[in-house]
Structure 1
């Protein structure tokens, strides 16, 4: 696409009015119906094919898109035995020339499990709208994406303004690491053809006061660490001091990986240099957000962040590795815990990786670090997860796109300019699409800002931000065309 573009064919105020009205009427109702569907991702629902929930949300989404009257649109639900379904929509461009380019939208329809800790009066499967936020599992992460993409297209068409061809892919296994996405992309590569702009709606925002562009995403690898010292448990009074504790051995193995004092990851293969541009962006974002960088979390008691420096907090979560122990076996509930020296301890490890780290190489190094030369000769096994994901760092923004985004932010957010930040989450698709479309521009954004609670209790979608984000995307669509 050429460098000279504008969105002057659109009336920005009319775009926002249209998007607000759509969200306050049918889109909010459709998203509420989506929240009610228990479309849990395959990693957490082994019987997903039998329960049929993923198929049901895919079919409903496709049916809704077909009912929108998008001229010439092709809408399909792609299925293969053993593969999670994928919704594909292909809407022809309306620009007068045939070289108007292609915009590829991405989102997903599968969800995390319900989880615990939801506030009184809120339920993961019962949508609740309080006038600002719509609560329920999967609304912000990111069932809204499909509706926002279609509404943005319609906002442009409603004013009869030219726009590019728009293709949407909405998968149903993202929360499981997108294991089926490479298969579907290989099938669709020729059908999608060349892409000029990728719009990923499965990310976050630093606050709700301006438009946020996500510039990078971390990768991920992990697995199960098993430490066994006995074939059967033994009386702790008899065995204590003779038999080494499997928990202590596990703790010492984790110390190989992570400093228990600082949290710094000690695995060299998990690190990469931080580009100067990303450091500058983190400092700028920290200046905009101030204490809100850390205040978005529900801190308990007098707990404080790992560092008080906001820029370092942003760099830690976006460009440095971090370890989380997300589960354990072999530890009985406290109420059931007797005086037994347990025979084994198992820990589930999740290692977030900087954007430019090779996740498979890091996983191999992690396995060797944990298994080699185990303390006391204990039986130590690390079983890697079958799904790993590389991170992603966006290519430099072309001037037309940065100008359009900044104008949209200033126009729809009371004069606040565009802001940028790296995110700590993982979206496997972004790396895949960067490889498939190396010359494309990337717009990664989303509604997962403060209080959104994605993956946790009280997940919610901030409606005013969603409306303004939808309008901003419409302005980009009107700008991504030849003139």
Structure 2
């Protein structure tokens, strides 16, 4: 009796060679065109529908996907009234016993321009230099749909069986995914039983290995406004009688944050860090070391003793990692009521307004924090000033579920094959609203949350870039993980204490 034929095995070197050619010949050009389009998210562009930039990047991506002629692929652009569109595709399974679905996610909307770009760079003027594609949105994360399809193409080119694959590419992520839930509800019957989620909207600790995101912080944004007058008045005439709106703003913020150390005062903003995440942070800190804080563009100046640099809140790598992933933090990201320095006269201003961005730990309820913030900031205002916290948006954080054995093995195998090192595990300080929704809807699914936002890639800021060599290897690693997905689930891997530290070095 003849033995059954063995299944074909994924060929990682061949995959990287072919994917590299595809990126160089086609995908880099597609992303160059994408960067040039100012498809700002609705929070930053109220006239997004009339301008048509979001529709354009979605249509361009759809046209490219259709042009690939992937066997078994169906694609459509879905538009609900008054909402940003989504791109949805399905690829039929070639693995006969594969009952579960792979869901691939990304987004095409972008953050606004920001200032401080290098003189030869700009948010909408793409430039490819030394393996880096500069410009807004290429890494965060316009590349996702192109890399996803390239990974599927490689599986089919190698004639490897794969499960059913669906793709969901949204266009309101940078606005907190405000339009996503209605699409999830509408598409739920078509998404299917998800066994693996691949989200390409996250970061990397370095460019030397595959990195899996283990947690994400939540986010609360809103406008805090303090009004004391109906119009500006001469500061010499009014100061001393009329309180400064800026001083009132300081007092109000002191209710929320200890300005001496940045600690958020209400307990509702804090949670206990799970032991396995502490163990992972120690292991990752041992790998990344001082780069966890040294990689930022610290202000510096010359002084008598040499160059003086601004200092981080901590120089302990483990503590730095935990602070940016499991600690709540408050940032002021914008202001109104303050004239530019060149036109700032001796006027006591009628109001001060700040745009606040508050990051919440992964296990904290963002809605409860919003209620606490409104009461804390608005009630009993000093001098009976009018204090409002409005235009509020919030998203919960996310903590990854336990890993199945096949998934952990597949990640390490793919990382070794493409980078020569085990997969790294790291929490991220940013927010991906979809992940909480998916974890609730598909509690047994494995979550491959990863991305290209490594050191100095500077998403949302000036000189943002996509590290193309890393993106090529990540694309190949994604294909390899999909190829490793079994038809049925497997056993979870323990993730506590020393075992987690060994498994996630």
Contact 1:7 1:475 in 2 (8 A): no
Q: Report whether the alignment pairs 1:14 with 2:9.
A: no
How far apart are the structure 1 equivalents of 2:147 and 2:477?
A: 10
Residue in structure 2 matched with residue 3 of structure 1 by the alignment: none
For residue 41 of structure 1, what is the aligned residue in structure 2? 41
Give the number of aligned pairs.
Answer: 475
- State the distance in 1 between where 2:79 and 2:462 align: 32
Superposed displacement of residue 179, structure 1: 1.0
Equivalent position of 1:425 in the other structure: 430
Farther off after superposition, 20-29 or 318-327: 20-29
Mapped pair 1:475 → 2:480: yes
Deviations 1:152-184 (A, max 9, x none): 111111110111111000011111111110011
Alignment of 1:416-455 (within 5 A): 416-455=421-460
Alignment of 1:334 with 2:333, yes or no, is no
**Match in the other structure for 2:387:** 380
CA distance in 2, matches of 1:15, 1:294: 35
**Take 1:235 and 1:113, find their aligned partners in 2: how far apart are those partners?**
35
Q: Deviations over 1:323-366 (max 9, x none)?
A: 00111111111111122222221111111100111111100001
Aligned residues of 2:270 and 2:361 also touching (Cα < 8 A): yes
1:299 Cα shift? 0.6
Match of 2:403 among 397, 409, 412: 397
CA distance in 2, matches of 1:394, 1:105: 16
Separation of aligned partners in 2, 1:331 and 1:120: 27
Secondary structure of the 2:395 match is coil
**Using the alignment, how far apart are the partners of 1:309 and 1:274 within structure 2?**
17
Which whole-Å CA distance do the structure 1 matches of 2:140 and 2:112 have between them? 12
**Partners of 1:100 and 1:21 in 2: how far apart?**
33
Residue matched to 1:121: 120
Separation in structure 2 between the aligned mates of residue 191 and residue 218 of structure 1, nearest angstrom: 29
Root mean square deviation of aligned Cα: 1.5
CA offset at residue 384 of structure 1?
4.6
Give the TM-score normalised by structure 2: 0.92
Please, which moves more after superposition, 144-153 or 337-346? 337-346
Return the TM-score normalized by structure 1: 0.96
**Which residue number corresponds to residue 501 of structure 2?**
none
Q: Where do 5+ consecutive residues of structure 2 fail to align? A: 1-5, 301-308, 489-505
Structure 1 gap segments, 5+ residues each: 1-5
Contact 2:35 2:123 in 1 (8 A): yes
Contact kept, 8 Å, 1:105 with 1:166, in 2: the verdict is yes
Cα pair 1:112 1:175 within 8 Å, conserved: yes
Rounded Cα–Cα distance in structure 2 between residues aligned with 1:283 and 1:216? 15
Contact 2:86 2:171 in 1 (8 A): yes
Q: Classify the secondary structure of the residue corresponding to 1:331.
A: coil
Measure, in 1, the Cα distance between the counterparts of 2:215 and 2:8.
Answer: 30
Alignment partner, residue 370 of structure 2: 363
1:214-258 Cα deviation digits (max 9, x unpaired): 001111113111212223333222322222211111111111111
CA displacement, residues 433-483 of structure 1 (integer Å, 9 cap, x when unaligned): 111111111010000011212111111100111011111101101011338
CA distance in 1 between counterparts of 2:7 and 2:145 reads: 23
The CA deviation string for residues 190-221 of structure 1, in whole angstroms up to 9 with x for no partner, is 01111000000001001101110000111111
Secondary structure at the aligned position of 1:304 is classed as coil
- Contact kept, 8 Å, 1:119 with 1:457, in 2: the verdict is yes
In structure 2, distance between residues paired with 1:228 and 1:126: 40
Aligned to 2:151: 152
Question: Alpha-carbon deviation of 1:285?
Answer: 0.9
3-state SS of the aligned residue for 2:470? helix
The answer to whether 1:24 aligns with 2:24 is yes
SS in 1 for 2:353: strand
Structure 2 CA distance, aligned partners of 1:7 and 1:107?
31
Secondary structure of the equivalent of 1:328?
Answer: strand
Q: How does 1:46-65 map to 2 (within 5 A)?
A: 46-65=46-65
Query: What secondary structure sits across from 2:258 in the alignment?
Result: coil
In 2, are the aligned partners of 1:163 and 1:481 still within 8 Å (CA)?
Answer: no
